[in-house]
C-alpha cells in the first residue's frame, strides 16, 4: 500500500499531521472522510501519480495518526476552518503554494472551507459525496433525520464516546475485503483509539455549531468558490434520493461547476477507484 510514497508527521500550529506523498508534477491534495484515514486513497493516489501528479494524502486533524488540540466548549479546534489551515500549512511545508484539491465526505467540508478561506492557493476543487453542512441542515426532514441520525447522536456530550468505545468493531464494521487489508488494519487501529474517536466526534460537533455559522456567514456575504469545481456523488449512496440533483445545490456555492454521479457505494475511493481516479485526473488536467 502506497508503494514509493514518503510519509512524515508534519507539525503545524496546534496539530501534528500524518502525511503521505509521492510523484512529480502539479500537486494534488486528497482529503478523506469519516471514519477513514488517508489510507482510503490507496487505490486512487497511485493512479494519479501515474498520470503525472504529485499526490499528498494527510490524515485530518485528530483522525488516524494526526493529532490536534484537546476539545473545547466551542469546538473551534476541530472546526473545518482550523483543519483547512492545517492543510495549507502541510502543503506549504512540502513546497506547494498552490494546488489541486479533492475532499470526500467530511473531507469535502474541509475542502469547501479551504477553497472559501484560501482562494489564492486552490487551483481547482473536487467535492465528493458531500454538500455544504449548512445546506444539509437547512433541509432537515424526517427522512434526513432517520438516515443521518448519527450527526445528532455524535453531537451529544460524552454518550457517543461511551457507546462507540465499548465496541468500536461493532460500531464501525469495516470490511478488509472491500477496503484492502492494509487500509482496514490502519483504519481499525485508529478507530480503537479513544482519542481518535473523541476527535472524530468533535468534527461533527463543530459541524452543527461553528462550521454551520461560518457557512451561513459566507452565504449571506456572497462568498463563493472562485476556482473551477467538480461535484461527484455515489449513485448507490443517498444524496440524489434526499435532494435530487446535487449540482443544483452546489451551483449556489460554485459558479464554475460541473459534475456527475459514479456507480459506487459511499466509500467510492475504495469501491470504484478507477472511475474516481479517471474523473479526478481528467478534471485536474483540464
Q: What is the pLDDT of residues 32-42, one digit of tens each?
A: 999 999 999 99
**Is residue 280 assigned to a domain?**
yes
Write the Ramachandran bin of 95: left for phi over 0, alpha for psi from -120 to 50, otherwise beta. Answer: left
CB of 33 within 8 A of CB of 18? no
Structural domain contains residue 65: yes
**Which residue has 443521518 as its cell numbers?**
148
Helix, strand or coil for residue 13?
A: coil
Q: What mean pLDDT comes out for the span 258-280?
A: 98
- Residues 122 and 117: their CA atoms lie apart, in Å, by 10
* Active-site amino acid positions: 105, 266
In a domain, 252, yes or no: yes
DSSP-based helix, strand, coil % in the chain, nearest 5: 50, 20, 35
Residues 6+ positions from 202 with CB-CB distance below 8 Å: 62, 71, 75, 77, 78
Pick from 91, 89, 88, 135: which is nearest to 109 by CA?
A: 135
Question: What is the per-residue pLDDT for 124?
Answer: 98
Measured between alpha carbons, how far is residue 45 from residues 5, 110, 136, 197, 257 in Å? Answer: 10, 19, 29, 26, 23
Confirm whether 1 is domain-assigned: no
Confirm if 45 and 22 have CB atoms less than 8 A apart.
yes
Average pLDDT, the chain: 97
How many residues in the chain?
286
Query: Can you give the pLDDT at residue 3?
Result: 95
Q: What is the pLDDT of residue 30?
A: 99
pLDDT digits (tens, 9 = 90+) for 105-140: 999 999 999 999 999 999 999 999 999 999 999 999
Please state the φ and ψ torsions of residue 210, each to the nearest 5 degrees: -65, -40
Total-model pTM: 0.98
Which CATH number do you get for residue 246?
A: 3.40.50.1820
- Cβ atoms within 10 Å, residue 169: 10
Cell digits of residue 216: 451561513
Total domains in the fold of the chain: 1
> Please, which pLDDT band fits residue 273 given cuts at 50, 70 and 90?
very high
- State which H helix or E strand residue 88 sits in: helix 80-93
Binning pLDDT at 50, 70 and 90, where does residue 61 land?
very high
Q: Is 230 helix (H, G, I), strand (E, B) or coil?
A: strand
Sorted by sequence, the CB contacts under 8 Å of residue 248 that are 6+ apart come out as: none
Is 18 part of any domain?
yes
Closest by CA position to 159, among listed 207, 211, 201, 200:
201
Q: How far apart are CA 170 and CA 174, in angstroms?
A: 9
Strand partners, 196: none
Task: Please give the Cα distance from 74 to 84 (Å, whole number).
Answer: 17
Q: What is the DSSP string of 30-55?
A: EE--TT--GGGGTTTHHHHHHTT-EE
Quick: pLDDT tens for 5-26: 999 999 999 999 999 999 999 9
pLDDT of 86 reads: 98
- The residue segments making up the domain with residue 65 are 6-285
Whether 32 maps to a domain, the answer reads: yes
Domain-embedded: residue 13: yes
Share of the chain above pLDDT 90, in %: 100
Position 63 scores a pLDDT of 98
User: Residue 269 in contact with residue 243, Cβ under 8 Å?
Assistant: no
Residue with cell 472522510: 33
Angle in degrees, CA 271, 187, 136, rounded to 5: 65
Q: What is the pLDDT of residues 160-180, one digit of tens each?
A: 999 999 999 999 999 999 999
Amino acid at each position: 500500500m502506497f508503494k514509493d510514497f514518503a510519509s512524515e508527521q508534519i507539525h503545524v500550529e496546534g496539530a501534528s499531521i500524518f502525511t503521505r506523498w509521492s510523484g512529480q508534477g502539479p500537486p494534488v491534495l486528497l482529503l478523506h472522510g469519516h471514519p477513514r484515514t488517508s489510507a482510503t486513497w490507496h487505490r486512487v493516489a497511485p493512479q494519479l501519480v501515474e498520470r503525472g501528479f504529485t499526490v499528498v494524502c494527510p490524515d485530518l486533524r485528530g483522525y488516524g495518526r494526526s493529532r490536534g488540540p484537546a476539545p473545547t466548549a466551542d469546538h473551534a479546534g476541530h472546526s473545518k476552518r482550523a483543519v483547512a489551515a492545517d492543510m495549507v500549512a502541510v502543503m506549504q511545508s512540502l513546497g506547494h503554494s498552490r494546488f489541486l484539491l479533492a475532499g470526500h465526505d467530511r473531507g469535502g467540508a474541509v475542502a469547501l472551507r479551504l477553497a472559501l478561506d484560501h482562494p489564492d492557493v486552490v487551483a481547482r476543487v473536487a467535492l465528493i459525496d458531500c454538500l455544504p453542512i449548512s445546506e444539509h441542515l437547512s433541509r432537515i426532514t424526517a427522512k434526513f433525520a432517520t438516515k443521518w441520525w448519527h450527526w445528532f447522536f455524535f453531537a451529544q456530550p460524552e454518550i457517543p464516546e461511551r457507546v462507540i468505545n465499548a465496541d468500536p468493531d461493532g460500531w464501525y464494521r469495516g470490511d478488509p475485503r472491500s477496503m484492502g487489508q492494509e487500509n482496514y488494519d490502519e483504519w481499525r487501529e485508529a478507530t480503537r483509539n479513544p482519542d481518535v474517536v473523541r476527535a472524530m466526534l468533535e468534527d461533527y460537533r463543530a459541524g452543527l455549531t461553528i462550521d454551520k455559522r461560518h457557512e451561513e456567514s459566507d452565504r449571506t456575504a456572497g462568498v463563493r468558490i472562485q476556482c473551477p469545481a467538480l461535484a461527484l456523488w455515489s449513485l448507490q449512496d443517498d444524496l440524489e434520493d434526499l435532494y435530487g440533483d446535487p449540482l443544483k445545490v452546489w451551483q449556489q456555492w460554485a459558479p464554475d461547476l460541473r459534475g456527475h454521479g459514479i456507480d459506487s457505494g459511499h466509500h467510492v475511493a475504495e469501491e470504484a477507484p478507477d472511475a474516481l481516479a479517471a474523473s479526478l485526473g481528467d478534471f485536474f488536467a483540464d
